Structure 1
Amino acid sequence: MLKFKFLLWALTQLLQRAIKKNPGCAKLVNGKSLVFQIRTEDGVGRYFTVANGKIKSAAGLTQKPAFTLSFRNAERGFAILSAKDSKDEFLTGLRTGDLNISGDFVEVMWFQGLTEYLQPTKDPAQVFFTTR
């Protein structure tokens, strides 16, 4: 459970850094006002507030999030959120019931777009000089 809690805290730090360093990410959150949460079925979680071009988070749950990502347990939540192929793992979690989504799916898609800015950028040498 500790790894899951740490991952949620670290997610905030990584998103804040992406907003500061990447103009595309900053543009995505600029003018956005929303609260969402990521939790386990037994109530462990964190809620995230996006406002004024920034993102903040706090431990615990909020009453009226725009959307909630609920994981079966902390272990599955950590595995899905930290997977190398996060989109595939996310979809597998939905199919197997390890992940449930409630709330505004448009905002969930916005969040998915935001997390794309957390992916490491490719080395330009790898892009232009790949060997086959």
Structure 2
Amino acid sequence: MIKFRLLLWALGLMMKKSAKNNPDFREQLQGKDLVFQLQTADGAIVRHYVVKDQQVKSKGKAHADPAFSISFKDAQTGLAVLTSKDKNAFMKGIQNKEITLSGDFKAVMWFQGLAKLMKAKKKK
């Protein structure tokens, strides 16, 4: 459980750093003004991320009105999916009903593209 909480916190730091240092990442933030959150299905672990002015900030609590939420069945599932080397882990999680999405699905797709940019920058 603590590992998943730490991963969500680290994700916020990585996005903040990518927004400063990665021009492709920053370009994807252009014109975006939204809040999204990642959490366990029971809400025991939740972190929301604020995207505004080409920056990303995060807070370790639920947001009243996120553009979208990604809920993982439990902390172990969230940790496994978010750290998986399998490019299809996210889709498999949705198909297996271990991940549920709510809100703006277009924004979820945008976030998936953003996450790929973050990973691509890290590999260099």
Give TM class, smaller chain.
over 0.9
TM-score normalised by structure 1 residue count: 0.87
Match of 2:6 in 1: 6
Distance 1:28 1:49 in 2: 14
Match of 1:102 in 2: 102
Instruction: Tell me, yes or no, if the aligned pair for 2:25 and 2:118 is still in contact at 8 Å.
Output: no
Match of 2:88 in 1: 88
The CA RMSD over aligned residues, in Å, is: 1.3
- Considering only CA atoms, is the larger Rg found in Structure 1 or Structure 2? 1
Shift of 1:6: 0.3
Identity of matched residues, %: 41
SS across alignment from 2:12: helix
Distance 2:101 2:91 in 1: 11
Q: What is the aligned residue count?
A: 122
| AA at the equivalent of 1:61 | A
Match of 2:75 in 1: 74
Q: Runs ≥4 in structure 1, deviation > 6 angstroms?
A: none
Q: Does 1:47 align with 2:48?
A: yes
| AA at the equivalent of 1:54 | Q
Match of 2:30 in 1: 30
| Structure 1: segments with no counterpart, 5+ residues | 124-132
Distance 2:64 2:52 in 1: 17
| Structure 2: segments with no counterpart, 5+ residues | none
| Deviation readout 1:12-71 (Å, 9 max, x if unpaired) | 111112122211111111221000100001112100100011000001111111000001
| AA at the equivalent of 1:84 | K
